[in-house]
Amino acid sequence: MKTEKTGLNFGLVGFSGLGGFQEKMLSELLDNEIRVYGVRFAEGKIYGAVSPFDYYRTAKTARKYGVKLRAEERHGLYFTLLKYRRRIGLYMGFLVFAAMLAVLQTRVQDISITGDVHKAQVLNILEDCGITVGAPTASLNISRAEQKLMLEVENCAWVDVSCVGFRVNVRVEKGIEKPEIEDKQPRNIVASRPAQIVRQIVRDGASVVNNGSGVNTGDLLVSGTVPDGRDKILFVRSDAEIIGEWTETQEFFVPFTENVSVADGNKKVFKWLILGDDEYPLFLGKAVSDNSLYVEETSLVRIFGQETSMLIKTGTFTEYTEKTITRSSEAAASELKKQKENFEQNFYSDYEIIDVVEKFYPAEDGIRLELEYTLQGDIAKPVIIEYDDTELPPVSIDNTDKTESQADS
């Protein structure tokens, strides 16, 4: 018959008892609350099983009632441990493992950052608060780190820093960006530079200049104070596009002989293995090289032609070397043209170039280029009208009052 055993069993000792008062022995075991499993009687013998911890009491009770008790099968955790009791190495290994686990748990081994935030920034803030890999977990100042993150991370809604085991979990959530609200403060529009007015598009406000007229920097172009037709003046937020024309002269010089830095020196190549968010350097020391051009590329790792989730990052430092170059007059002119194009792209992209006069002046050591630009562009510069709300409500001009007071006087 299958014996059903429930509960936490460290082991069982099967026994058989012969002769004596078996019923009395069983009654006493029941009375002493000793749990006996699978008791059966056959051929004048009693069979059963008890916990190894209760066997001594069972044997004592059996002796009391003249039952010859004999231990038979023994199985369970208690006996397994007893079997390996001389295997010191096994226990030592287990103890060392437990000790390592306990010791490693006392220091931070990993920092996990989640949320739409720059990890480097968060790591720097945590470092300032003493939370780094290797820091003791017992002395982490988590509330300080949370406060600092709230203050230093831009538009931070809430922060949660917690230490679970040896891992520090950081969660940073940002708030919803504020919508841009148009400023309604009244303003004038003035000239941002000296120019001649070519054309103007006034959306709001009153234009005070005519096309063709010349203006200087800061001159009023569009006024934000507008009469409303009922002898009152309204403050408005002027909005206009005032296109002016002006001339500018630029000079460039290219020498025939020049010392330049060219990245064609010694190359140093460093590789990293990328697994998820982690990078493992495949070299010793630091990936640093002075006065060098750094180029980085990433490629997938393939094993037997199959793509894996691993990446290899290759960083190449190429040292700059000083070189003396000599140009012909054609090459110098070409270099000047290149400089001119770069300049126009960088500084005149917002303007329309109406005309440009190029003048080349060859010299002994190089060529000088003089450029005279005629440019057109928006010269409108908004300026807020400042007034005191308490003293100056929208200005009211009442001619009737004035005439009456004049008549009175």
Partner 1 sequence: MGLREKLIEYEETAGRRFSVTMTAESGEDAELIIENCRCVKSCDDNFIVLSVSGKDIRISGTPLVIENFGIGSLKIKGKIHSLTFEEN
For partner 1, give the closer residue by CB, 12 or 172: 12
Query: Quick one: 61 or 289, whose CB is closer to partner 1?
Result: 61
CB of 104 to partner 1, least distance (A): 44
By the rule CB under 8 A, 23 interacts with partner 1 = yes
Query: If binding is defined by CB under 8 A, does position 35 make contact with partner 1?
Result: yes
Please say whether the beta carbons of 50 and 12 come within 8 A. yes
What is the DSSP code (8-state) at residue 24? H
- Binding footprint of partner 1, residue count (CB under 8 A): 21
Q: Work out which of 22, 61, 188, 238 binds partner 1, going by CB under 8 A.
A: 22
Q: Does 402 bind partner 1 (CB under 8 A)?
A: no
CA distance 336 to 354: 20
Does 42 sit near partner 1 (CB under 8 A)?
A: yes
Among 9, 13, 18, 41, binds partner 1 (CB under 8 A): 41
Residue 64 contacts partner 1 per CB under 8 A: no
Nearer to partner 1, 46 or 332 (CB): 46
Cβ proximity to partner 1: between 50 and 159 the closer is: 50
Interaction of residue 39 with partner 1, rule CB under 8 A: yes
Q: 83-116: b or e for each residue (b if 16 or more CB lie within 10 Å)?
A: eeeeeeeeeeeeeeeeeeeeeeeeebeebebebe
In this chain, which of 11, 13, 17, 26 binds partner 1, going by CB under 8 A? 26
**How many beta carbons lie within 10 A of that of residue 391, not counting itself?**
6
d(CA 311, CA 301): 5
CA distances (Å), 296 to each of 78, 120, 207, 288, 293, in order?
A: 61, 19, 55, 13, 10
- Nearest-approach distance from CB 24 to partner 1, in angstroms: 8
Nearest to 164 by CA among 230, 224, 245, 108: 108
Which stretch in 18-26, 61-69, 95-103, 392-400 sits in contact with partner 1 by CB under 8 A? 18-26
Contact 376, 351 (CB under 8 A): yes
Give the three-class secondary structure for 98. Answer: helix
Binding-site ranges for partner 1 (CB under 8 A) = 1, 3-4, 22-23, 26-27, 29-31, 33, 35-43, 48
